[in-house]
């Protein structure tokens, strides 16, 4: 190794050498020499190493202690509070095909640019070298991941969110088959935030299974193992025969029955994905990213590649999200980010409590109500995309199979979106292929989880658009083929918690529990359904007793009718948007185009039959 002993001590070098992996040594050497940190510290699976990371985050000020034992607060820069799509690019080589929707850069040019920015970016800092497993230990699902970062907040977050994998690297037996991530927050200001935001870059180098990310701190941009690894894994899965999805995994238990069925669910950011995975009475395996494989017995199995949650804290309150609220209000290892701290206590938007008028927040250490930023915009108490980071096993409803190397068998897929005027709260697709269509045509109104305007309708196939580093056609074909290889197909459902009438939501937040139990019952053939052009919808006679059983609440015919009417015209408008998008993509499978066509014809003949644009479920 060509690194000065003052930078990489003998002890740290030995930790690297133990792994017997020439590529690990090469990567650490190359990026130490390029980024020029003062010190390199290698972290193994040992508790003392892991404690070191946590303490370092306090020492560097990247996290600060608050009153509750184990809780810390971290602030990202004011302009770094969400994923930065504009500065995120896939580096492509000639012949590598991507969808129109993905930012790309020619690989050589992109590598050159980012390496120039990274040259010396870690000067004066200590860098951490960390080893993780994406997925359970000793599992055929899992992928090893090497993280090099000069942010102890990043390394600490990853410790909460992922399984430590130093020994898994040893088991690689020298193989080069792992992902790696080089991150630098870059030069920092007095508050410890990235100074050179104009030089923020997040570049995926698919060819080398690595990602460079620099001049940022927000976890969706900085943490290699989260959305950066998601992209590398999507590329890998789609060139093999499995799925990497932006999906939660949960166990659904019907009322008064001894059984559990596992579902996965893909929802774009901030559309109720995490809160669905945490619905009371159910179990949680994961809330964000799943790998899925055709299992030996022909069923679909899934693992959570994470072991923690980086969840949106806005709107978390004791009524709607009791499990997580309890976790956030009691002592344990936990990182808050970008919320208000007053007198050592945490406050966030819509927490069901009065908020103080001053404190430390995502803007400054002495924020006061009414303060404006440099654009004259009033700064709220906390950022809308503020988050908490916590291990899943801190939740009282953690599923027993969280770390099962075989994952869980999946009986249902759910696709959700934020849609105020088109779809019904829940329906089942007409077939697996139609289910692929349902997932591939998700639309969602934008939220604060990405930088940019909020409330704009955006297309996001399988809630994965931001991460799709293969052609859309190839991705859809992979989903279709995955189903062909399964002996037992999961049923596919769509949910929409956001349908409105005259500006008012037509569902209560907690109602999703009923939709979940209905879907679970469908898997077991327990409920009948009404066939409509868009799919199967629930019958009033089934939902009414379910609302009584679950919430002891009356569910009126009028309410059901409003929720489950088929808005034909709105669905046709959506199809028009889809025809345009898919018409511009190359290599869309014919089977998919046919489904789109059939769906349109079904809607048109439905309209002819009923002679109107909106049809009540009671008329069908
Ligand atoms: C999401 O936005 O989908 C998240 C948070 O899960 S982030 O890490 O920003 O992607
Ligand atoms: Mn996500």
Alpha-helical (H) ranges within 392-497 are 432-440, 472-485
pLDDT score of 445: 86
**Cα dihedral 306, 307, 310, 313 sign:** positive
Pair of tokens at residue 241: 């025969």
Determine which residue's CA is closest to atom 4 belonging to ligand 1.
Answer: 269
Q: Which residue carries 């899965």 as its tokens?
A: 237
What confidence tens digit (pLDDT) does each residue in 359-371 have? 999 999 999 999 9
Determine which residue's CA is closest to atom 1 belonging to ligand 1.
Answer: 269
Whether residue 449 has pLDDT greater than 70: no
**What average pLDDT does the segment 471-491 reach?**
97
Pair of tokens at residue 220: 């969706």
- Determine the residue of 228, 245, 309, 449 to mutate for testing ligand 1's pocket, defined as the one with the most ligand atoms within 8 A of the Cβ atom: 449
Whether residue 92 has pLDDT greater than 90: yes
Q: Assess whether 271 carries a catalytic annotation.
A: yes
Determine which residue's CA is closest to atom 10 belonging to ligand 1.
Answer: 220
Q: Which residue carries 């934008």 as its tokens?
A: 446
What confidence tens digit (pLDDT) does each residue in 331-349 have? 999 999 999 999 999 999 9
Q: Which residue carries 């189903």 as its tokens?
A: 483
Pick the ligand that lies closest to the CA of residue 83. Answer: 1
What is the rounded CA–CA span in Å between residue 163 and residue 170?
15
Determine which residue's CA is closest to atom 3 belonging to ligand 1.
Answer: 269
Pick the ligand that lies closest to the CA of residue 450. Answer: 1
- Atom in ligand 1 nearest the alpha carbon of residue 268: 3
For 261, residues 6+ apart whose C-beta sits below 8 A from its C-beta are: 251, 252, 411, 412, 520, 523, 524
**What average pLDDT does the segment 190-202 reach?**
96
Distance 287 CA to ligand 2 centre (A): 8
* Rg, the chain, Cα only: 24
User: Mean pLDDT score of the chain, rounded to an integer?
Assistant: 96
User: Kind of pairing, strands 88-92 and 71-74?
Assistant: unpaired
pLDDT score of 1: 85
CB atoms within 10 A of CB 344: 13
pTM for the whole structure: 0.97
Phi, psi of 440 (to 5 degrees): -75, -10
What confidence tens digit (pLDDT) does each residue in 562-618 have? 999 999 999 999 999 999 999 999 899 999 999 999 999 999 999 999 999 999 999
Quickly state the pLDDT bin for 320 (edges 50, 70, 90). Answer: confident
- Determine the residue of 269, 392, 465 to mutate for testing ligand 1's pocket, defined as the one with the most ligand atoms within 8 A of the Cβ atom: 269
**What average pLDDT does the segment 231-258 reach?**
97
Pair of tokens at residue 571: 């669905």
- Determine the residue of 227, 448, 458 to mutate for testing ligand 1's pocket, defined as the one with the most ligand atoms within 8 A of the Cβ atom: 227
Distance 190 CA to ligand 2 centre (A): 30
pLDDT score of 58: 98
pLDDT score of 200: 98
In our burial notation (b when 16+ CB lie closer than 10 A, e otherwise), range 178-215 reads bbbbbbbbbbbeeebbbeebebbbbbbbbeebbbbbbb
- Atom in ligand 1 nearest the alpha carbon of residue 274: 6
pLDDT score of 451: 74
What is the rounded CA–CA span in Å between residue 321 and residue 275?
7
Provide residues with CB under 6 Å of ligand 1.
Answer: 83, 219-220, 226-227, 269, 288, 310, 449
**What average pLDDT does the segment 27-36 reach?**
98
Q: Which residues pair with 541 in a beta bridge?
A: none
Distance 414 CA to ligand 2 centre (A): 15
Share of the chain above pLDDT 70, in %: 100
Pair of tokens at residue 193: 């935030």
For 181, residues 6+ apart whose C-beta sits below 8 A from its C-beta are: 145, 146, 147, 148, 149, 210, 211, 213, 224, 225, 228, 229
Determine which residue's CA is closest to atom 2 belonging to ligand 1.
Answer: 269
- Atom in ligand 1 nearest the alpha carbon of residue 218: 9
pLDDT score of 454: 75
Pair of tokens at residue 519: 């879907």
Nearest to 15 by CA among 170, 193, 204: 170
**Cα dihedral 424, 264, 431, 460 sign:** positive
- Render 567-614 in DSSP notation, one character per residue: EHHHHHHHHHHHHHHHHTSS---HHHHHHHHHHHHHHHHHHHHHTSSE
Nearest to 44 by CA among 112, 160, 146: 146
- Atom in ligand 1 nearest the alpha carbon of residue 312: 5
Distance 220 CA to ligand 1 centre (A): 5
Q: Which residue carries 């932006």 as its tokens?
A: 246
The secondary structure of residue 228, as a DSSP letter, is I
- Render 54-86 in DSSP notation, one character per residue: HHHHHHTTSSEE-SSTTEEEE---TT-SSB-ST
What is the rounded CA–CA span in Å between residue 362 and residue 334?
17
The secondary structure of residue 103, as a DSSP letter, is -
Distance 227 CA to ligand 2 centre (A): 7
Identify whether the C-beta of residue 458 lies closer than 8 Å to the C-beta of residue 92.
no
What confidence tens digit (pLDDT) does each residue in 454-467 have? 778 889 999 999 99
What confidence tens digit (pLDDT) does each residue in 488-544 have? 999 999 999 999 999 899 988 899 999 999 999 999 999 999 999 999 999 999 999
Distance 82 CA to ligand 1 centre (A): 8
Using alpha carbons only, give the angle 142, 148, 154 rounded to the nearest 5 degrees: 85
- Stated as kind and residue range, the H or E segment containing 519 is helix 512-523
What confidence tens digit (pLDDT) does each residue in 388-437 have? 999 999 999 999 999 999 999 999 999 999 999 999 999 999 999 999 99
pLDDT score of 509: 86
Determine which residue's CA is closest to atom 5 belonging to ligand 1.
Answer: 220
């Amino acid at each position: 190794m060509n690194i000065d002993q003052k930078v990489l001590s003998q002890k740290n070098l030995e930790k690297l050498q133990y792994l017997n992996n020439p590529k690990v040594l090469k990567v650490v050497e190359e990026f130490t020499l390029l980024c020029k940190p003062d010190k390199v510290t290698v972290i193994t699976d040992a508790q003392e190493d892991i404690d070191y990371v946590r303490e370092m985050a306090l020492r560097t000020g990247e996290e600060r202690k608050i009153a509750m034992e184990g809780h810390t607060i971290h602030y990202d820069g004011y302009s770094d509070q969400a994923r930065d799509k504009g500065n995120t690019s896939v580096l492509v080589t000639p012949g590598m095909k991507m969808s129109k929707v993905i930012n790309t850069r020619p690989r050589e040019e992109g590598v050159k640019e980012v390496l120039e920015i990274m040259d010396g970016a870690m000067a004066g800092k200590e860098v951490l070298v960390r080893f993780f497993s994406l997925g359970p230990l000793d599992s055929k699902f899992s992928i090893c991941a090497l993280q090099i970062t000069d942010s102890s907040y990043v390394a600490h977050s990853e410790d909460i969110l992922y399984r430590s994998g130093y020994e898994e690297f040893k088991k690689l037996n020298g193989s080069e088959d792992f992902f790696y991530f080089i991150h630098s927050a870059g030069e920092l200001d007095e508050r410890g935030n990235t100074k050179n935001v104009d030089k923020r870059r997040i570049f995926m180098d698919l060819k080398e299974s690595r990602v460079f990310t620099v001049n940022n701190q927000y976890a969706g941009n900085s943490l290699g193992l989260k959305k950066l690894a998601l992209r590398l894994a999507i590329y890998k899965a789609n060139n093999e025969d499995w799925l990497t999805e932006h999906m939660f995994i949960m166990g659904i238990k019907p009322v008064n029955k001894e059984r559990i069925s596992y579902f996965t669910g893909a929802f774009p950011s901030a559309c109720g994905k995490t809160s669905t995975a945490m619905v009371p009475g159910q179990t949680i395996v994961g809330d964000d990213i799943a790998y899925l494989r055709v299992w030996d017995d022909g069923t679909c199995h899934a693992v959570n590649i994470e072991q923690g949650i980086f969840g949106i804290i806005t709107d978390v309150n004791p009524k709607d999200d009791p499990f997580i609220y309890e976790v956030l209000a009691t002592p344990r290892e936990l990182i808050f980010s970008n919320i208000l701290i007053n007198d050592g206590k945490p406050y966030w938007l819509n927490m069901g409590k009065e908020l103080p008028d001053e404190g430390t927040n995502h803007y400054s250490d002495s924020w006061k109500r009414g303060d404006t930023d440099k654009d004259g915009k009033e700064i709220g108490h906390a950022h809308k995309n503020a988050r908490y980071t916590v291990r899943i096993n801190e939740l009282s409803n953690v599923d027993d199979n969280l770390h099962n190397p075989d994952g869980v068998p999946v009986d249902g897929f759910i696709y959700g979106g934020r849609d105020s005027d088109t779809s019904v709260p829940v329906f089942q697709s007409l077939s697996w292929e139609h289910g692929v269509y349902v997932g591939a045509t998700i639309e969602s109104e934008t939220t604060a989880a990405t930088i940019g305007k909020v409330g704009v309708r955006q297309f996001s196939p399988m809630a994965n658009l931001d991460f799709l580093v293969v052609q859309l056609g190839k991705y859809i074909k992979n989903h279709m083929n995955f189903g062909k290889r399964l002996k037992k197909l999961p049923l596919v459902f769509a949910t929409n918690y956001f349908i409105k009438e005259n500006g008012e939501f037509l569902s209560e937040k907690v109602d999703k529990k009923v939709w979940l139990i209905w879907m679970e019952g469908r898997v077991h053939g327990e409920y009948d359904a009404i066939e409509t052009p868009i799919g199967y919808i629930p019958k009033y006679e089934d939902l009414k007793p379910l609302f009584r059983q679950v919430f002891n609440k009356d569910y009126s015919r009028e309410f059901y009718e409003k929720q489950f009417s088929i808005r034909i015209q709105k669905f046709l408008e959506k199809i028009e948007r889809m025809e345009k998008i898919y018409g511009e993509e190359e290599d869309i499978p014919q089977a998919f185009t046919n489904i789109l066509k059939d769906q349109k014809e079904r809607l048109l003949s439905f309209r002819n039959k009923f002679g109107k644009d909106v049809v009540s479920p009671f008329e069908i």
